[in-house]
Amino acid sequence: MAVPASGALPGSEVAQAAVSRFQLPLRAWSRVTDRYGATNRGPGRIHGGIDLALEGLSRSPVYSACTGTVAVTDYSSAYGYHVIVDCGDGWSTLYAHLSQVLVRPGDAVNNDVVLGITGSSGFSTGEHLHFEIRWQDTPVNPEDYLDFKIPPGTPLSDGPLWFPGAGGGTKPAPAAPTATPTPTETPTPTNTPTVTPTPTITPTPTWTPTPTPTPRPPTRTPTPLPRAY
């Protein structure tokens, strides 16, 4: 957004070659609030792009100002949600303070492709589009390449860093998570223990051994006496 006041500009032959490369990023806007070169960014720094206010045109589609490839989609405290498009041959364009980004890095784009929706994210106090044209990563004056219909005599800045409209310079807070209702706790029933009756012990019968009979001495067979013949 703010660049050193000594930022280099491309040579005249490079600038001439780029005139037909770019197209307007918005189909309509209410007015220009800050132009390239405004010095209300602090000592030794200037505004590095052009700010297009959107009173009555809230949430407008933002189109790619060149044919190229999406190089960056990101969020920063200064630019908020923003997109950078690589336009080729050392040129790129930046679109800042978006409320939504609708492309991804690597997407091929042209002036019919919507990159995102205008908003007031990042360092912004109202809805507007901050637009930059860069040559070898250095912002240059977009008015050298595009006609923003700025009346003659319009100052570089219409005042302090303030843009009419709702919104603030903060990153949109994520939606609060929906609270999960706490289920009604069902008390755990106390189980009444089932009394198991003590089994009656059947007595083990006492084993009575069968008495072993006492052996009787064998009956002697009498020896026969000799007989007389």
DSSP 141-174: -GGGTS---PPTT--SBSSSS--SSS--SSPPPP
Q: Tell whether 136 is covered by a domain.
A: yes
Note the pLDDT of residue 156: 86
30, burial (CB in 10 Å: exposed 0-12, middle 13-18, buried 19+):
middle
pLDDT single digits (tens) 178-229: 444 455 454 555 454 555 555 555 555 445 555 555 555 554 545 444 444 3
Terminal Cα-to-Cα distance of the chain (whole angstroms): 166
**How do strand 138-140 and strand 108-109 relate by DSSP bridges?**
unpaired
Note the pLDDT of residue 1: 57
8, burial (CB in 10 Å: exposed 0-12, middle 13-18, buried 19+):
exposed
Q: Tell whether 9 is covered by a domain.
A: yes
Name which of 94-98, 172-176, 212-216 the model is least confident about: 172-176
Q: Tell whether 15 is covered by a domain.
A: yes
Name the residue with tokens 């080729």: 88
Is residue 3 scored above 60 in pLDDT?
Answer: no
Q: What percent of the chain has pLDDT over 90?
A: 50
3-state secondary structure 74-109: EEECCCEEEEEEEEECCEEEEEEEEEEECCCCCCEE
Q: Tell whether 150 is covered by a domain.
A: no
- What is the number of structural domains in the chain? 1
Q: Tell whether 172 is covered by a domain.
A: no
Q: Tell whether 33 is covered by a domain.
A: yes
Is residue 6 scored above 50 in pLDDT?
Answer: no
| CA-only gyration radius of the chain, Å | 49
Q: Tell whether 64 is covered by a domain.
A: yes
Note the pLDDT of residue 226: 46
Q: Tell whether 208 is covered by a domain.
A: no
Distance CA 82, CA 130 (A): 9
User: Is residue 136 within 8 Å of 87, Cβ to Cβ?
Assistant: no
Range of the domain at 118: 2-144
pTM (whole model) above 0.85: no
Distance CA 23, CA 37 (A): 21
CATH number at residue 90: 2.70.70.10
Is residue 62 scored above 60 in pLDDT?
Answer: yes
